[in-house]
Amino acid sequence: MTMYKELQPADLYRIRMPYPFSNYDRQLLTLLYQPMVGSDAISLYLTLWADGEMRSEDSTHYTLMNTLGKPVKAIFESRIQLEAIGLLKTFRKDGENRSFVYELCPPLDPKTFFADPLLSMFLFSKIGESSYRRVRDRFVIQAPLAEGYAEVSRTFTDIFQPVHAKSGYPADEKELESRTDGEYEIDQDFDFALLRQGLSEQLVPKRVLTPSIRNFIVKLSFLYGFGPLEMQKVVLLAIEDDYRIDEEGLRKAASDYYKMTVTTTAPKLEPVKTAEPKTPQPDAQQAPANKEDELIAYLESASPLQVLRDIADGKEPLPADVQLANQLVTQHGMEPAVVNVLLQYVLLRTDMKLTKAYVEKIASHWLRKNVTTAKQAMEFARIEHTQYMKWKNESSAAPKRAASSGRKPIREEKLPEWFNKKDEVETPGQGASSEQLEQEKQKLLAKLALKKRKGD
C-alpha cells in the first residue's frame, strides 16, 4: 500500500538536466559515490543521464523497469538513495495521471567532497582506510608549479575600463544555467541558543559562527551524535589563538573529543531501512582467541574516559584525571589505545593514584619510541618495568625521607594482568607473596572483563 502511494509503473516521468555533464563527473560517480549508495543507484543515475541526453519527452516507469531489469520497488529504493546523497531532485505532480520530474545534479568536486565530514566519513566506513587514501590520492593535484614561478596574470581592471556612453542598459536577463553541484540536505534541529549560552563572547565571538561554520557544526553534531553541550567543548578545542575557527579545525576537534569520550572506532553511516529487513549477515570479525586478545580489543576500542570509569567501578573520574588523559591525546598526539594502557598501568601500580609527573615521564618515553598500539604499549611496560619502578621510587624518595629516617618495607604494587607473561623473570624477594599477588591480578582482570561485557 505504501509503495502504491509512492510510485507505480504507469507513472510518467521526465528528465531534467541543467547542463551537459562530463566524463570527469562519471569518474566521480564511480569512485566516490558508488561505494556509498551501491551499484543499483548509480546504474539508475547513469540510465537517467543517458536518457536525458537523447530526449526530453515523458515516459512511464515501465521503461526504466525494462532497461534496468528491476521491479518498481527497487527503482524507488535507488531513487531515494540518490536523493539523500544529493545527486537527484524529484518533483511530483498529482492528478489523474501522476507524473514526476527527475532533475539530475552533478557530483561534488573532490575538494568539496573530502572536506564534507558526512560524505568523507561515509566513504571511509564503506571502503576502509587503505582504499580511502588511494581514492583520495587519485584526485590530488600531481603537478605543482616548479619553484621560482610567480603569478603575473593581469586582473580585469588592468585590461578593461568603463566607457561612460549613453547606450542604455542590457535587457533583464532570464534565469540562466549555473553549475550547482549536488548538495544534500540534512534535516537536523540544533539548538544554537544553548550552544551560545556556554560560550563567552570573549572566548568565542559571535562573528566566528558564520553560516558555513554553523552548517558544519550541524553536520558534525549529526555524525558524532553530539548535542549543544558537547559541541561547546568541540568549539573551544577548535578556536584559534586569534579567535578564528575553520572547518578543518572543527573536524579535528570533534574527532579528538569523540575518541576521548566515546570510542576510538570511527562512526559509521548506514541507510535507514525502508523495506523488509534482510537476513542478518554473520559478523566478519573473529572473536578474541584468549583473554589478552580480548583485553587488547577492549583497550583499542574504548575511550580513555571509559577506561577511567571502568577502573573506578563505573564512577565518574575526577576532572583532573580526565584533563590529563585528554592532554595526552589532543596536545601530545598519543593514540587513545596507548593512553588506555598507560592509565591502567599507572593506576594499578600506584594504588589508584594518577600522578601527573609519573604519567608524563612514561608518556614521554613512549612518544619518543613511537608507540602507537595497545599491544606495543603493553610490551614496553613489561620490558621497561624495572626502569619505571626506579622512576616511581625516585619521585617518592624525598617525601619518604622527610617523613621518617628509618627504612620501611617496600609494599608490593598491583600490576595489570596483561603484565605477567610466561617469559617474565621473577624479581628476587617476590616469591613469598606471588600467590596473593596473582589473586589480586585475577580480580582486576575479571572486573575489566565484566565492565566490557556490560558495555556490549
Do the Cβ atoms of 85 and 37 come closer than 8 Å?
yes
pLDDT at position 89 is 93
Rounded Cα gap, residues 345 and 416, in angstroms: 6
pLDDT at position 276 is 43
Query: What value does the CA radius of gyration of the chain take, rounded to a whole number of Å?
Result: 30
Nearest to 82 by CA among 54, 120, 47, 134: 47
Q: What 3 state SS string does the chain have?
A: CHHHHHCCCCCEEEEECCCCCCHHHHHHHHHHHHHHHCHHHHHHHHHHHHHHHHCCCCEEHHHHHHHHCCCHHHHHHHHHHHHHHCCEEEEEECCCCCEEEEEECCCCCHHHHHHCHHHHHHHHHHHHHHHHHHHHHHCCCCCCCCCCCCCCCCCHHHHCCCCCCCCCCCCCCCCCCCCCCCCCCCCCCCCHHHHHHCCCCCCCCHHHCCHHHHHHHHHHHHHHCCCHHHHHHHHHHHCCCCCCCCHHHHHHHHHHHHHHHCECCCCCCCCCCCCCCCCCCCCCCCCCCCHHHHHHHHHHHECHHHHHHHHCCCCCCCHHHHHHHHHHHHCCCCCHHHHHHHHHHHHHHCCCCCCHHHHHHHHHHHHHCCCCCHHHHHHHHHHCHHHHHHHHHHHHHHHHHHHCCCCCCCCCCCCCHHHCCCCCCCCCCCHHHHHHHHHHHHHHHHHHHHHHHHHC
The answer for residues whose C-beta is within 8 angstroms of residue 357's C-beta and 6 or more apart is 395
Rounded Cα gap, residues 432 and 415, in angstroms: 16
In terms of residues, how long is the chain? 456
Do the Cβ atoms of 296 and 375 come closer than 8 Å?
yes
Do the Cβ atoms of 355 and 324 come closer than 8 Å?
no
Do the Cβ atoms of 210 and 235 come closer than 8 Å?
no
* Cβ-count burial 63-73 (b if 16+ within 10 Å, e if not): ebeebeebebe
pLDDT at position 448 is 63
Rounded Cα gap, residues 287 and 283, in angstroms: 10
Q: In a structure prediction context, what are the per-residue pLDDT tens digits for the chain, which is 456 residues long?
A: 466 678 888 899 999 988 888 899 999 999 999 999 999 999 999 999 998 888 778 889 988 898 999 888 999 999 999 999 999 999 999 888 889 999 999 999 999 999 888 889 889 989 988 999 999 988 887 667 778 888 888 887 777 767 656 556 566 666 655 555 566 676 667 788 888 887 878 778 888 888 888 888 888 888 888 888 888 888 888 888 777 888 888 888 888 888 878 777 777 766 665 544 333 444 444 555 677 778 888 888 777 878 888 888 877 788 788 888 878 887 777 888 888 888 888 887 777 777 788 888 888 888 888 888 888 888 887 787 777 777 666 666 555 554 555 555 555 555 566 666 544 444 444 444 455 555 565 666 666 655 555 555
What is the CB neighbour count within 10 angstroms for residue 288?
A: 13
pLDDT at position 278 is 39
Rounded Cα gap, residues 246 and 235, in angstroms: 10
Phi, psi of 154 (to 5 degrees): -80, 150
pLDDT at position 432 is 42
